[in-house]
A and B are shown apart, each in its own frame.
Chain A
Amino acid sequence: MKSRHHAVALAAKYLVILFLFAFLLFPVYWMLVTSLKTNVESYRIIPSLWPEKVSAGGYQTLFQDGKFLVYYGNNLIVSALAALLICLISIMSGYALSRFHFRWNVLLLATFSFSQMMPVISRLISLYGILRRLGMTDTRLGLVLAISATQVPFSATLMASFFDGIPRDLEEAAWTDGCGRMKTLLRIIMPLVVPGILAVGIYSFLMTWDDYLHAVTLVRSPALWTLSQGLKLTYLGEVSDWQLINSASILGALPMIFVFFFFQKYMVKGLVAGAVKG
């Protein structure tokens, strides 16, 4: 009786896991399959699980239409620059937050976490005006700075939690050996937090790659559009070419999937540290 009860529980467990993973992964599979089907095949009443005739027409169009690659390149440039900037700034401020406990650090942390909560649109309305006055709307610089600012609060606190794990004795030893503050940070402490830097960098890259709102409000000229913006504004229309859209989606999602799997160890550690401490 007891073992039968156990067997039912076990079966239920696997059924639930099967269902949930189907929910999480089938849409990704569906995106891939649709990108390889001709539209004629996609628009059938009864969908086919695997394309009868594999067609790479969507990918071909994307590589040849002269727009997709521009958006893609723009997004790479913007995300990479933003990730670098975020890393640099959060190493500096994270170290300061971790090591120097002055009274107003608490205030700064509170401001950080408050500003992290703010809806992007609430800032964008006036940010658009401010950047316009500075002549920075419709430039990459303006976009990179705006995107970086949104990630800095979280990244700085995350970085601080990595610095917290490094014993202070190291600095004291360096100080008695006559090593200056800047040199201590660069030569002794930074090499020890490389996993943290990677976590912050990759997380920032993922988050800035995801940006849609900043780009869509701050950048108007199509030559500077990023991927999310370009996908939404160019390819999603009244009559959508679903093979094309799904091909573009696959290409837009692939780098993120690769980056994640490659750096998974650092990412997961960082995210968990950020959430558990923050």
Chain B
Amino acid sequence: MPTPFLSKETVIMRSASSSSSRRFPVLRSSRKRQDLLFCLCLLLPAVVLCTAFILIPIIDSVVMSFTNYKLVNLTKNRPGEWNDFANYTRLWKAGKLQSAILITGQFVFWTVSLTFLVSMTLALILNTDPPGARFLRSVMMIPWVIPTVITGLLWAWIYANPYGLVQYLVHLFSGGRITDFGMLNGKGTALWGIILAGLWKQVPLMTLLLLAGMQNVPEDIMEAARIDGADYFTRLIHILIPYMRSVIAVSVSMCIIENFKQYPLFATLTNGGPVGATTTLAVLSYDEAFVNNNYGSGAAVTTVWLLVMIAAVAVFRLIFQRNKGETA
């Protein structure tokens, strides 16, 4: 049973002068009631804002996904007619939903795994305190503070066909055989272009968090294992990573959610193209709702998106928990 504000003091007061508290029981309960009132007042703005702008819209959009809701409904302020699963079945039959789920899954899986691998490598190296580590740690954060749309524009320029840097590098390393390489124009490479841009933006934060987590790893245990002859990777897997469990769980979950939500990079780099090769659930829902003005259909996509994302985070946590059982 959680104790309310200042209850410790009331306990002291009661034990010190139990006769007085018996005489004035109103005093204690009125103070508790006032605490409650004060607490409610403090929470009110946050609760109102989050209810009005997050909770109600989410519930509303789930309801909307089962209705036929178009631009007319919005302008005439008319509620949409209930059409059961029509939005879902139409999207499914057109194959849009499956392909968007697949592409989103690919994007999230690769971006998160690569971000984790690169960040872990970087964090491990920076944790050994190479010369200039402090400086490196702070300039490392620059990609993270650059706004996402600007990140998109920057990489659009790097991938630009013609004149882009990547095209030149490909030309150079292929010995002049490949002269026309548009990263974002090919169906097979466009998604990788976005993954790379996402990686660039997200590595700094993950590295920062992992570095912070490494501070909790006891130095003496690592040292003892080294003396016992455990090589670097054994120490990494059996000591370092288990100690960093909670930081890894939080930062990877955050990364999964972040990438599921990713939209601005797609909007600036490919807009879902070429021929739908980068149409994720985010792009599909935006296009359905705000380009085709079919809000019901867009809401159906976001509902599926929500479920897929919750499932993904749950699966990650499950795998993580099971591994914990094995190592412990």
Contact = CB atoms under 8 A, between A and B. Distances in A.
Indicate whether A and B interact: yes
Interface of B: 2-6, 8-9, 34-36, 38-39, 42-43, 45-47, 49-50, 52-58, 60-61, 64, 74, 77, 118, 121-122, 125-126, 128, 130, 136, 138-143, 145-150, 152-158, 160, 162-163, 165, 168, 200, 203-205, 208-209, 212-213, 246-247, 250-251, 254, 257, 260-261, 263-264, 267-268, 282, 285-286, 289-290, 295, 298-299, 302-303, 305-306, 309-310, 313
B158 A150 contact: no
Contacts of A117: 257, 309-310, 313
Contacts of A257: 142, 145-146
B2 A103 contact: yes
B64 A125 contact: yes
| CB-based closest 4 A-B pairs | A149-B53, A122-B302, A101-B2, A93-B46
| Most-contacted residue by chain A among B147, B264, B309 (CB, 10 A) | B147
A89 B102 CA distance: 39
26 contacts: A24-B140, A24-B203, A27-B154, A46-B168, A89-B49, A90-B46, A99-B39, A100-B38, A118-B58, A119-B309, A122-B57, A122-B302, A125-B289, A125-B299, A126-B58, A127-B53, A209-B147, A210-B148, A213-B263, A232-B268, A242-B157, A246-B153, A259-B145, A275-B247, A275-B254, A276-B213
Nearest to B39: A100
A92 B212 contact: no
Contact of A152 (B35, B49, B58, B143): B49
Given A24-B203, A122-B299, A125-B298, A253 B145 contact: yes
Contacts of B54: 115, 118, 123, 149-150, 153
Contact of A149 (B43, B50, B168, B205): B50
Nearest to A175: B6
Interface stretch (A9-17, A50-58, A59-67, A190-198): A9-17
B180 to A, nearest CB: 12
Interface residues of A, number: 101
A123 B39 contact: no
Contacts of A74: none
A268 interface: yes
B42 A34 contact: no
Contacts of B52: 130, 149
Given A13-B125, A93-B45, A261 B138 contact: yes
Interface in A115-146: 115, 117-130, 132-133, 145-146
| Most-contacted residue by chain B among A115, A156, A259 (CB, 10 A) | A115
A28 B146 CA distance: 9
Nearest to B35: A100
A271 B208 contact: yes
A210 B147 contact: yes
Nearest to B264: A212
A152 B251 CA distance: 19
A77 interface: no
Interface string A212-224: 1100010000000
Given A89-B45, A125-B299, A115 B209 contact: no
Nearest to A99: B5
A271 B205 contact: yes
A145 B261 contact: no
A42 B148 CA distance: 23
A24 B49 contact: no
A125 B302 contact: yes
A103 B2 CA distance: 7
Given A125-B302, A126-B61, A268-B208, A120 B147 contact: no
A278 B5 CA distance: 22
B305 A122 contact: yes
B53 A93 contact: no
Given A20-B203, A43-B163, A115-B58, 14 more contacts: A30-B157, A89-B49, A101-B3, A122-B58, A122-B303, A123-B58, A149-B53, A175-B9, A181-B34, A232-B153, A245-B157, A261-B138, A272-B209, A275-B209
B174 to A, nearest CB: 14
B6 A171 contact: yes
Contacts of A181: 34-35, 38
Contact of A119 (B146, B160, B302): B302
Contact of A27 (B125, B158, B261): B158
Nearest to B144: A260
A128 B75 CA distance: 11
A228 interface: yes
Contact of A246 (B157, B205, B302): B157
